[in-house]
Amino acid sequence: MSRVVVTDHAFGGVAAEQAAAARFGAEFSVHACRTEDETIEAVAGADVVFVNFAPMTDRVLAALAPRATVIRYGIGYDNVDIAAAQARGIAVANVPDYGSDTVDDHTVALLLTLLRKIPAYDRRVREDGWCAPRDLGSLPGFAETTVGLVGLGRIGAAVHRRLAAFGFRVVAHDPYADRADGPELTDLDTVLRASHAVSLHAPLTPQTRHVLDAAAFARMRDGAVVVNTSRGGLINHDALAAAVRTGRVAAAALDVFENEPLAADSPLRDLPDVVLTPHTAFYSDSSLAALQQLAADEAERALAGKPLRCPVTGGGAR
């Protein structure tokens, strides 16, 4: 009998995943794994594994059935050891297109909130009773504002389309992009120096880790704002906190963090000019339903021995 395992999830239920397992007569179990040892115990002998944030290390992958398939809920797969999966003939798939509209909307909402200085005005009214609009300094109109995108994949391109409707000038850096109908493509240094706001949409790789560090913040336009709904590791959090304290960065909005939940002693928690959301950019009723159904459909392909729709690695077909 095949075995299907959900290592961890943050959903209301897993009906679609359970239905997929039932259609193939597979054993099905759901867990709340956090540690490597918990995950190893949960996935022992599994043929298909749904994973959210549980660590899929080489030791965990070694516990799976031969030619198993790992399905990562969502776009990124930082918690899956891809090299180990390839070496072991284990297929890995992700779900890159389940809710990009929701992430785009959340990103633009954060950008507009920071560029209009809404948190700062709200704080002044609550703490001081009132303030004049000019009290918070310069406030360019959207037509005079440049937004820089670091990464121009599916989500970055959709953010550009939304921003264009507001009249922003948008520039982007992505060494792999070639979009004649997209924003102006340029180097990272130009994006940092030219932009009133920088929004991150790159995958987390050894080359992009801490792409925004102390040196990058020093090159940014004075008083720019930063938004990250992509991967927490793209920003050096200590460097960001220092840049916000000095006013080099006027404000930031973060939905993702290097370690989640955000540490209780993180300096970001004490900065009123940093807006924090708990990795919720993906979340809406429709996007969540699509994510789970697309993941369940991928599991059915794996159990039937069919090619995966969104493979990250090969292997897995039985």
What's the sign of the alpha-carbon dihedral 248, 196, 201, 152?
Answer: negative
3-state secondary structure of 94: strand
User: Could you say which of 3, 279, 298, 301 is catalytic?
Assistant: 279
pLDDT tier at 82, thresholds 50, 70, 90 = very high
| DSSP secondary structure of 41-89 | HHHTT-SEEEESSS-B-HHHHHTSPTT-EEEESSS--TTB-HHHHHHHT
**pTM for the full predicted model:** 0.85
**Mean per-residue pLDDT for 84-111?**
94
- Which segment of 51-55, 62-66, 79-83, 282-286 scores lowest on mean pLDDT? 282-286
Residues 6+ apart with CB under 8 A from 19: 296
Question: Tokens representing 26?
Answer: 């597979």
Say what the pLDDT of residue 178 is: 76
User: Could you say which of 23, 34, 260, 269 is catalytic?
Assistant: 260
pLDDT tier at 181, thresholds 50, 70, 90 = confident
**3-98+285-304 CATH choice from 2.30.140.10, 3.30.70.1450, 3.30.1490.20, 3.40.50.720:** 3.40.50.720
Q: Which fold does the domain 100-276 belong to in CATH? A: Rossmann fold (3.40.50)
Helices 154-165 + 100-115 axis angle, to 10: 50
> H-type helices in 204-304, by residue range?
214-219, 237-246, 285-304
pLDDT tier at 76, thresholds 50, 70, 90 = confident
Percent of the chain surpassing pLDDT 90: 90
Question: Tokens representing 164?
Answer: 């264009």
Q: Helix, strand, coil: what percent of the chain each, to 5?
A: 40, 15, 45
User: Over 60: is that where the pLDDT of 64 sits?
Assistant: yes
**Mean per-residue pLDDT for 55-73?**
98
User: Over 60: is that where the pLDDT of 111 sits?
Assistant: yes
Catalytic residue status for 231 = yes
Catalytic residue status for 260 = yes
The torsion region of residue 223 among left (phi > 0), alpha (psi -120 to 50) and beta comes to: left
- Which segment of 39-48, 65-74, 180-189 scores lowest on mean pLDDT? 180-189
Say what the pLDDT of residue 180 is: 63
* CA atoms of 112 and 92, how far apart (whole Å): 36
| Residue range 7-43, pLDDT digits in tens | 999 898 999 999 999 999 999 999 999 999 999 999 9
Question: Average pLDDT, whole number, for the chain?
Answer: 95
Say what the pLDDT of residue 175 is: 92
User: Could you say which of 9, 231, 248, 301 is catalytic?
Assistant: 231
Say what the pLDDT of residue 309 is: 97
User: Over 60: is that where the pLDDT of 68 sits?
Assistant: yes
**Mean per-residue pLDDT for 203-208?**
93
Q: Are 227 and 111 in contact (CB under 8 A)?
A: yes
User: Over 70: is that where the pLDDT of 110 sits?
Assistant: yes
User: Over 60: is that where the pLDDT of 315 sits?
Assistant: no
| Residue range 228-277, pLDDT digits in tens | 999 999 999 999 999 999 999 999 999 999 998 999 999 999 999 999 99
Question: Tokens representing 196?
Answer: 């009133």
CATH 3.40.50.720 positions along the chain are: 3-98+285-304, 100-276
Say what the pLDDT of residue 79 is: 95
**Mean per-residue pLDDT for 98-115?**
93
